[in-house]
Amino acid sequence: MTSTPYSPKIIVCESDGAAAAIVADLYADLLRDKPAAVLGLATGGTPTATYREFVRRYQQGDVSFARASSFNLDEYVGLSADHPQSFCYFMRQHLFDHVDLSADRANVPSGDAIDADAEARRYEEAIASSGGIDLQLLGIGHNGHIAFNEPGSARNSRTRVVDLTDETIRNNARFFDSIDQVPTTAITMGVGTILEARRIVLLATGADKSEAVAAAAEGSVSEAVPASLLRHHSEVTFVLDRAAASGLRSATG
Ligand code: GLP
């Protein structure tokens, strides 16, 4: 795949807390302008500080999710919504149980659907019927994955069932009692699904993400680094702390 005209806007923050505040500002501004906005949400260790910030602002009366809806990026196949390591459980624990987002508009793929392929198709259609995602939050994997789109994922891929790489399974084992408990497949929004969001914010913190961030922002645009495919989109912001930005040739503050 050849290069594209777009470069992500890059915001480098002094700390991960400052980065979380910037992302929370983007969502709060959106919800003020469009209270019924469709929010794209992510899991992982990185966004937890952002969700704490959402909850704090909600408790202070600065932001309301009452008319909003949300779609999470992904879910492990085989885990029910009540499984403590499911992404649905994670979202309830970190956000949904603490704000006024209506439970029936907080969407996460059903990991325990009898037919996971059908669930992936249903999820893709639900995103389209909602009118599309206004602002999608992403993290990034060490191998450049976004959501569970592992290297090799097609630029036009849709929500589907995928196999996780050994590296991703190893990385995510920290959330489970043992590596054997980490599911090996997941339902994930596709790269093409993500690229249809009106705006995208990729949040990365910590030096261990610096290589993946540099490859995504400044390397070749290639399916080998799924996050680099975000450069097909004109409205992408990378919000980074200094450590995650340390591999960039051209970081601006
Ligand atoms: C998982 C999720 C991704 C997330 C990545 C990095 O694989 N599917 O959406 O970006 O982990 O997570 P962390 O923020 O914990 O580094």
pLDDT category at 252 given cuts 50, 70, 90 is low
State residue 250's pLDDT score.
Answer: 79
Active site residue 75: no
Across the range 208-215, mean pLDDT stands at 98
Atom number in ligand 1 closest to CA 139:
10
Ligand 1 centre to CA of 2 (Å) is 27
Residue 3 has pLDDT above 70, yes or no: no
Percent of the chain with pLDDT over 70: 97
Residue 4 has pLDDT above 80, yes or no: no
Cα four-point dihedral sign 112, 84, 147, 163: negative
Q: Is 148 in the pocket of ligand 1 (CB under 6 A)?
A: yes
Q: Going by DSSP bridges, is the β-strand pair 185-188/160-163 parallel, antiparallel, or unpaired?
A: antiparallel
Ligand 1 centre to CA of 3 (Å) is 26
Ligand 1 centre to CA of 172 (Å) is 8
State residue 196's pLDDT score.
Answer: 98
pLDDT tens for 217-241 read: 999 999 999 999 999 999 999 999 9
